Amino acid sequence: MTEEKIHIVQDRENLEHLIINNKDPVVVSILSDNEPCKKIIPKLEQVIDENKGKVSLAKINISDSKRLSIDYEVQTTPILEIYKDGTVVDLISGVHDTCEIRSFIKNNINN
């Protein structure tokens, strides 16, 4: 896994800085410690690794970052959002297989 493209985010300022200042699209994964989130993490990291140099990953664990959960009104997890030029362009929620995650990311980073 390309570690420099994975960012653990714990506060709003850090997240906003990453989204705004990153030249590549940013996939923001909003996760918790539940089983569906634990299942999606390796799939997501695999797809990010397949697209190294084209996309960054910001991982938010709302179990560790309650303030972000409140600030962004998180009601369910997992959520995957894609940001380009500081703006969210797409999102999916719930558990998805690797092919669905791959399509979601490729469709949004290649536009």
Query: What pLDDT, in 10s, does the model give residues 89-102?
Result: 999 999 999 999 99
- The tens digit of pLDDT for each residue in 27-70 reads 999 999 999 999 999 999 999 999 988 999 999 999 888 888 88
Total domains in the fold of the chain: 1
Q: Could you tell me the residue range of the domain that residue 71 belongs to? A: 3-109
Instruction: Give the separation between CA 78 and CA 75, rounded to whole angstroms.
Output: 10
The pLDDT, as a whole number, for residue 111 is: 65
Is residue 60 a contact partner of residue 90, using CB atoms and an 8 Å limit? no
What dihedral angle (degrees, nearest 10) is formed by the CA atoms of 108, 87, 66, 46?
Answer: 20
CATH number (domain holding residue 13):
3.40.30.10
Is residue 62 a contact partner of residue 75, using CB atoms and an 8 Å limit? no
The pLDDT, as a whole number, for residue 53 is: 85
